[in-house]
Each structure stands twice: as structure tokens, then as C-alpha cells.
Chains A and B, each alone.
Chain A
Amino acid sequence: MAESIQDIQEEIVDEFGMFDDWMPKYDYLIELGKELPLIDEQYKTEDRLIKGCQSRVWLHAELNDGKVVFTADSDAIITKGIISLLVRVLSNQEPEAIVNADMAFIDEIDLKEHLSPTRANGLVSMIKQMKYYALAFQAKKEQ
């Protein structure tokens, strides 16, 4: 049985609990950003691009064995680090779980400034887009 969205979020909150200052936290995010498995080049297309004013995000989704698999990329590394967390939480989950997911962990690890609309880095739209994909897969399944 795979871990639930809730469990993964708690794990991440625990991991980030180790950092008592912004710098090691961002070093970690940067590391995650660098390690993020790249989206397959063929999917880095205009229709998978989420345009933020500040940074750009590509998102691809597939249904694999009833679960949604996300891959994503960005041109900015901090954005990529956060993408890596979002993918870790929402990828390989059932569509319904993704649709209903509450992403409270972002607040708890104090990264919500990156999800504020003024940042315009594509992340807010990315979460929305992930849920749309899940919803579409869910609708397909129910047909």
C-alpha cells in the first residue's frame, strides 16, 4: 500500500522541522531542485507550459495503473525545489485523492510566500493544473 497524501505531507513537515534558519532550508530546496527527475524533453511543449511572470513551469500527467503520475520542470531552481515537493505529495496517487488533497504542508514549512499570486512563478497555477488533470482522469474512469 502506497503512502497517503497526508502521510507524505507529515513526513515533509518533519524533514523541514530540522531547519532552524532559512539558509539550510533553501540549500535543501536547491538540492531538491537539482535532483528533480527531468520531465521527458518531448513533453516540454507549449501546451504543457504554465507561464508565470517570474519563472516558467512545465507539467505533464499520465494515468498509470489507476494512479496519476506527474513529471514537471522549471527554469528556476527554487521553483523546481518546490515542484519536487508537490510532485512527491501528489504523484502516484488516485485521482480522487488528488482532487480532494489539502496542501497545508506548504504553510507549515513556511514556503507559502512562493505560492502567493504576487510571486507569479507558476506554482499556484501548477497546483490547480494538477488537480484539473486528476479531475479529468477521474471523470474518464467513471465513464
Chain B
Amino acid sequence: MISDSKHTVLDIEKIRAEFPILHQEVNKRPLAYFDNAASSQKPQVVIDAISNYYSTINSNIHRGVHHLSQLATDAYEQSREKIRKHLNAEKKHEIIFTKGTTDSINLVANGFRQLLQEGDEIIVSAMEHHSNIVPWQLAAKEKGAIIRVIPMNDNAELIFEEYQKLLNEKTKIVAFNHISNALGTINPVKEMIAEAHKYNVPVMVDGAQAIPHTLVDVQDLDADFYCFSSHKVYGPTGIGILYGKEEWLEKLPPYQGGGEMIKEVSFEGTTYAELPHKFEAGTPHIEGGIVLGTAIDYINTIGVENIAAHEHALMEYALEKLGTIEGFNLIGSAKNKAAVISFLIDGIHPYDAGTILDKLGIAVRTGHHCAQPTMSRFNIPGTVRASFAVYNTYEEIDRLHEGLLKVKQMFA
């Protein structure tokens, strides 16, 4: 077995010790958790921060004059600042708290729906999560706009020349993911954005799978919108981020009405609050917003590049090891690929493989990964997916390998 220390500077055992949930047995075997692309586990600092919030400063924000409200508001706004810094956004009010990636995309798609006209075009890619397809379809359908799809090649890479051909004066927005959840492909975001900007077309990047594994600089990418979910980056569920350039956020109409997002309300009309509050109606997920900041601190303490290096080494090891299994088919072999291995084994249904692996204490994802068009592209109903996080080990990959041999033996 290759030892972790050869590949990274991280002490993985020490990191694992910070994740209480990992130290349990599933079906009498130690848990090996490989469903990180769906949701990652939480370190003790994140768990503690949640209970600290409720034990010390809980109260509603942005509205009270009292002490606790001030503390909670400060903590919430400090977290917004941390996230601004992490994404290198220019302005703090360009960071909007949302419920997550899906909510962020819906916010933007809903705004564009109101700007769209019949015959306008929206470009998405062939490797999107349903969350980055359906909101655009809803918007397009209502306004008679058209969805255009960037195709991919057999290695699961978007075909740049085809993308160039799709862009034109009718294009109103381009939306695609930074890293594909079903295939692991890392898309050339910066180049794709630059291409759209030649036509003055804004770009929305779904960064759900990127933020846990890459350092993102929204100004360097020149992204118009960028979003992610906290729960995939070691933070709590129910909270996420939409980054939007100020000029675009100003242009978009509000998403939901309610408290917090208004300046003045009368029955004759209402004026909206300034950014970011215009898009943050109602009492938000206060503790979630604060603790997402804790999670961001956590990955920065370890170093996002260190995390990525460890995961990359794990992926290479896994590809080598699993590649020796007869009938192993990797789905998604892009040159530029992040810590996701989606695969099929000849003659074995993903559900069958996943069920037996679960019996062996190994958690993988099976099915279409909310990316049915991606599966159709490869003519398959679904895959088995193992996705890695900072706490995964080489030993766990050895167990996955053994587990798959067992699966083969049982279904032979």
C-alpha cells in the first residue's frame, strides 16, 4: 500500500479524527464514505460552531437594537466577508446567502426569465445537474426562449468549437458547471467565460463540485455569477452562496418578497433594499450562514491545494487499482478531472453493486446522479460513483477494490 505521506503533507489520520461520524460501523464493518460529491461529512469545529451559536448569540439579525441581535448580525456579516475573501469577490454585497446551489440558480434564472424575450437563447452544457437545466427550461418555456446545449466528446469534455458556434447575438446567458458531479470533468471556465464575453453574454457557473476541491477567484475567472452549496464543503445543509457581479445583481429583479428585502413598503408600491438584502427576503438560515464561514476557515487552515493534491493522489491510485478489475469501465476520462470516479462493471447493474458495497460498509452513490442527459449521452442508465474528500484513505480504496471483486464474484 502506498502511504499517504508520500503524496501529501497532510496528516490524514489526524484529519479523520476530527470527523466523529466516520468512526462508526455500518453492517459491522468500518464505514468507508465515498459519497462526498453528494454531501461531505462535518468536522468537529463545524458541529461545535452550530451549538455555540445557539448557546451564546442566537437572535434575529439586521433588526434588533439589543446586544444579542448585534452579535448575531456581526457574526453573519463577518461570515459574508470571509466568503467574499475566499472567492476574491470585489465587494461584500456581491455575496448573497441562499439555500444552496439549486436556490442560487433559481434566483438567477427567475431574474432572467423576466428579462427574456421570445426567440432569445440560453446555453447550457450536456453535463449539467438537473438543477442547472430545469430552472432555465422553466424560464425559457414561459418566454418562448430556446435552450442550446454544448455537446461533449467521448472523454466527457465539452467541445469548445461547438460552444463557439452556439454563441450569437440572441444568446442571453450561458450556464455550466465548473466540475461535473457525474463525471468529474473540470471545465475550462475562464476560457469559456471569455468566449461568452465577446458577445457581452453573462455566464453563470455552478461551482457546487468545485469549491470543495479548488481555489476559485471569481474576478480572475471574470464570472458574472458563481454559486455553491455549503453542505458539500464540510458546512451545514440548507445554506449556500450566490456570487454575482454588482452590475448584474442590480439589473435582476428580486426573487422573493418579504421582510429584510425592502426599503419602504406601502400599498401603493415598495422600494427594495440595497444589495445583498434585496435578494435575502425573510429571516435567513442565520446559524448556517455563520457556520459556513467556519467551514471555509476549516478548509483554508488545511489548505485547499493540499486537499486537492491528496484527493488527486487518491483518484490516481483508485483508477490504477480499479482499472485492473476485468470489465471495469470508467465513465468520464477527461484529461482534467477532479476527485470523482464514475464507473460501470460489465454485466453488473449499479444498484446491485451499490447494495453489496453497502453491506460491506462502503458508501457509494448509484444511479443517474441527477444528470439524466449526461447518462443518455453515454447510453447508460446510471453509474456507480465514488467521490473523494480530504478524509479518505488509500486503505479505503483497497477496500473498495476488494468490495468490487466480491460484487463480481456474487453476480458472476
Check A121–B411 contact: CB distance below 8 A. no
Interface of B is mostly: helix
Check B410–A26 contact: CB distance below 8 A. yes
Check B355–A78 contact: CB distance below 8 A. yes
Check A53–B367 contact: CB distance below 8 A. yes
Flag A79-92 by CB within 8 Å of B: 1 or 0 each. 10000000000000
Interface segment, B54-62, B101-109, B344-352?
B344-352
Check A75–B349 contact: CB distance below 8 A. yes
- Given A22-B359, A26-B410, A53-B367; A78-B352 close (CB under 8 Å): yes
Complex interface: chain B residues within 8 A of A114 (CB):
355
- Given A22-B27, A30-B410, A56-B381; A76-B367 close (CB under 8 Å): no
Does A6 touch B at the CB level, under 8 Å? no
Complex interface: chain A residues within 8 A of B240 (CB):
none
B100 CB, nearest partner CB in chain A, Å: 19
Check B366–A54 contact: CB distance below 8 A. yes
Check B352–A76 contact: CB distance below 8 A. yes
Complex interface: chain B residues within 8 A of A56 (CB):
381
Does A27 touch B at the CB level, under 8 Å? yes
A33 nearest in chain B by CB position: B352
Check A77–B368 contact: CB distance below 8 A. no
Does A125 touch B at the CB level, under 8 Å? no
Residue among B349, B354, B356, B359 with most chain A CB within 10 A? B349
Check B411–A54 contact: CB distance below 8 A. no
Q: Which of B27-46 contact A (CB under 8 A)?
A: 27
Q: Which residue of the partner chain, among B351, B368, B410, contacts A121 with CB atoms under 8 Å?
A: B351
Give Cα A54–Cα B369 distance, bound, in whole angstroms.
10
Residue among A30, A55, A121 with most chain B CB within 10 A? A55
Check A53–B349 contact: CB distance below 8 A. no
Check A77–B352 contact: CB distance below 8 A. yes
Q: Which of B1-40 contact A (CB under 8 A)?
A: 27
- Given A22-B27, A22-B359, A26-B359; A76-B349 close (CB under 8 Å): yes
Does B382 touch A at the CB level, under 8 Å? yes
Flag A3-35 by CB within 8 Å of B: 1 or 0 each. 000000000000000000011001100100000
Complex interface: chain A residues within 8 A of B359 (CB):
22-23, 26
Check B368–A53 contact: CB distance below 8 A. yes
Check A27–B381 contact: CB distance below 8 A. no
| Interface residues in A, total, Cβ within 8 A | 17
Check B351–A30 contact: CB distance below 8 A. no
Complex interface: chain A residues within 8 A of B349 (CB):
55, 75-77
- Given A22-B27, A22-B359; A55-B351 close (CB under 8 Å): yes
Give Cα A79–Cα B349 distance, bound, in whole angstroms.
10
Flag B332-375 by CB within 8 Å of A: 1 or 0 each. 00000000000000000111101110010000001110000000
A142 CB, nearest partner CB in chain B, Å: 39
Residue among B350, B352, B410 with most chain A CB within 10 A? B352
Give Cα A56–Cα B349 distance, bound, in whole angstroms.
11
Give Cα A38–Cα B359 distance, bound, in whole angstroms.
28
Give Cα A56–Cα B367 distance, bound, in whole angstroms.
11
A61 CB, nearest partner CB in chain B, Å: 24
Flag A46-87 by CB within 8 Å of B: 1 or 0 each. 000000011110000000000000000001111100000000
Check B356–A26 contact: CB distance below 8 A. yes
Give Cα A22–Cα B356 distance, bound, in whole angstroms.
9
Complex interface: chain A residues within 8 A of B350 (CB):
54, 76
Complex interface: chain A residues within 8 A of B351 (CB):
54-55, 76, 78-79, 121
Give Cα A84–Cα B1 distance, bound, in whole angstroms.
42
Give Cα A20–Cα B167 distance, bound, in whole angstroms.
62
Check A54–B410 contact: CB distance below 8 A. no
Complex interface: chain B residues within 8 A of A120 (CB):
367
- Given A54-B351, A76-B352; A30-B411 close (CB under 8 Å): yes
Give Cα A114–Cα B354 distance, bound, in whole angstroms.
12
Give Cα A30–Cα B27 distance, bound, in whole angstroms.
19
Give Cα A22–Cα B382 distance, bound, in whole angstroms.
25
Hey, which bits of chain A sit against chain B, CB under 8 A? 22-23, 26-27, 30, 53-56, 75-79, 114, 120-121
* CB-CB nearest 8 A-B residue pairs: A76-B349, A76-B351, A55-B351, A54-B351, A54-B367, A78-B352, A53-B367, A76-B352
The contact sample of 21 A-B pairs, CB cut-off 8 A, is A23-B359, A23-B410, A26-B356, A26-B359, A26-B410, A27-B410, A30-B411, A53-B367, A54-B351, A54-B354, A54-B366, A54-B367, A54-B382, A55-B351, A75-B381, A76-B350, A76-B351, A76-B352, A78-B352, A79-B351, A120-B367
Hey, which bits of chain B sit against chain A, CB under 8 A? 27, 349-352, 354-356, 359, 366-368, 381-382, 410-411
Known: A26-B355, A54-B382, A75-B381. 13 other contacts (CB 8 A): A22-B27, A22-B359, A23-B359, A23-B410, A26-B359, A30-B352, A54-B354, A55-B351, A77-B349, A77-B411, A78-B351, A78-B352, A120-B367
